[in-house]
Structure 1
Amino acid sequence: MHIRAACKNDIEGIAKVHVDSWQETYKGIIPDQFLESLTYESREKGWKELVADPSQDILVVENNEGKIVGFVSGAIQEDKRPLVGELKAIYLLKKDCGKGIGRQFVRVLFSRLKAKGCETIYVEVLAENDACRFYEKLNAKWHATTSIAIAGKLLRLYVYKWESVDLEI
């Protein structure tokens, strides 16, 4: 496995992981109708803008065959002082979970955000998502609960926060 910064040639691979992992991860949480409506093409459009945006930190992980099997993205909220970072997305194909890739992703992303002056980082995660335990294992602390509506369904959203970008993991 190889982690590196994303480039425009990765957009198709990122979009595929994004759609496939949403359909794997959120089945039974987000309405099936919404998950089934996701397309690679629609995700590619969004990722074209994000990959081109210099304020975004996007990393991909490739398997030994050079195929993208996961990505992570983050950014700093420039309008907040001290600088606050956000882990915006982290997705891996289900078959590649449990191999320590997520932990490596977070470590590399936090290092990049720290180099830009970030002091704390937060992440928002659906309360029913197993990723809550992942963030807790990485020493994130529950910070708040809010909600989000997806396809007409109101879902609880947990906000976790790392007070320090220096992870002890």
Structure 2
Amino acid sequence: MSGEITVRPAVPSDAAAMAQVHVASWRSTYRGLMPDAMLDDPGFVARREGFWTTALTDERFAANRIAVAEQDGEVVGIAMSGPVANAEPGVLHLYVLYLLDGHHGSGAGSALLDAVISPAEPAVLWVADPNPRAQAFYRKRGFVADGVEQVEDGVREIRMARAPGPPVPPRD
């Protein structure tokens, strides 16, 4: 790492780089939690690129907030939030927040989170369990496990929620 990390709204031309970050992050984070066949599927990157292209161009995703973190012109992190179905208006769901290995603790995660969900906005997210690094990151930013669990793609997840309030300073 050499240059400063910047965060900006994602644009359609970011889709390929976002897919690379998404897949690389899943492979490093979920190895041992998800089947290797899924993580190593040769079509995985192409499917993620299709997802990001759709998320960045389709009107169905117009209410979502999507951001990338860049360093030296390369995308190193991604984030996306959007409305929560069947929730009170104004509650956001953090759908995605991933960084490439080597960028954890750089401040990029906090900047991405703030880019897609203001610290004063109520929000929910699902996080793999076990994933102590991610869970600690979210706790430091005001999220607490609310007791709801699910299994998605074979991975146990816990739901964490944050009530609205004053900004919570990051403690990286």
- TM category (shorter chain) comes to 0.7 to 0.9
CA contact (8 A) 1:145 1:156 kept: no
Partner of 2:15: 11
Deviation at 1:147, TM superposition (A): 1.7
Partner of 1:56: 64
Partner of 1:45: 50
- Secondary structure at the aligned position of 1:55 is classed as coil
CA contact (8 A) 1:17 1:68 kept: yes
- Which of 72, 80, 101 is equivalent to 2:79? 72
- Superposed CA deviations along residues 6-56 of structure 1, whole A, max 9, x for unmatched, are 000100000000011100111111121211115211111111111123111
Share of identical aligned residues, percent?
26
- Superposed CA deviations along residues 97-155 of structure 1, whole A, max 9, x for unmatched, are 111111111122223x96xxxx41001011112311111111211113322242xx3x3
- Which of 13, 25, 48 is equivalent to 1:21? 25
Q: Quote the Cα distance in structure 1 between the aligned partners of 2:75 and 2:85.
A: 29
Q: Quote the Cα distance in structure 2 between the aligned partners of 1:87 and 1:166.
A: 18
Q: TM-score, normalised by structure 1?
A: 0.86
What is the total number of aligned residue pairs between the two structures? 160
Q: Quote the Cα distance in structure 2 between the aligned partners of 1:73 and 1:149.
A: 18
- Secondary structure at the aligned position of 1:123 is classed as strand
Q: Quote the Cα distance in structure 2 between the aligned partners of 1:79 and 1:136.
A: 24
- Secondary structure at the aligned position of 1:49 is classed as helix
Q: TM-score, normalised by structure 2?
A: 0.85
Partner of 1:120: 122
